[in-house]
Amino acid sequence: MICEMCGRDVPRLKKVVIEGVIMNVCNECAKFGKEIKGKEIPKDVKYLPPEVVRERLERRKRRPRKDALDEEEVLVEDYADRIRKARERMGLTQEQLAKKILEKRTVISKIERGEMHPDEKLIKKLEKTLNIKLKERVSYVYSKDDKKARALTLGDLIKEAL
């Protein structure tokens, strides 16, 4: 059995109230609280019934966990050309496009020159107005010397930096 406080694997646990919370702890950690004898729960305890705990755990399992290194949508490298070409294809000037998306002409000009990266809100406006895609899904896979492809790790980044 594992102590809920220190994580030690011990043969026997004690039910103890520590700072108003009931915990199953080892003999070492039991000294930090007051042991509960029998099934009676003290009134000052912040106790969650097993049903509530079970429901919260199930809710946590239902939420899909997303690994930050798996996939991500990023701004395409040629965003400036895509925006300029789409604007010209629609027959709009920078001023007209700016008015359509409620931005300044200078913002459109800087974006088309590649001097400014649009934020998420502006990317969505431009995609919708110009009917283009400015973001692409990228998955991070690391392969060195044509070895088997695998996920990028912190160790890989450190090795590359050295």
Task: Please classify residue 20 by burial: count the beta carbons closer than 10 Å to its beta carbon, then call 0-12 exposed, 13-18 middle and 19+ buried.
Answer: exposed
The string of pLDDT tens digits covering residues 16-64 is: 888 777 788 898 898 988 888 766 666 666 655 666 666 766 776 666 6
pLDDT number for residue 96: 95
Q: Is a pLDDT exceeding 70 seen at residue 152? A: no
All structural domains of the chain with their residue ranges: 14-62, 79-133
Q: Is a pLDDT exceeding 50 seen at residue 146? A: no
Read off φ and ψ for residue 127, nearest 5 degrees: -60, -45
CATH number of the 79-133 domain: 1.10.260.40
CA pair distance 102, 129, nearest whole angstrom:
11
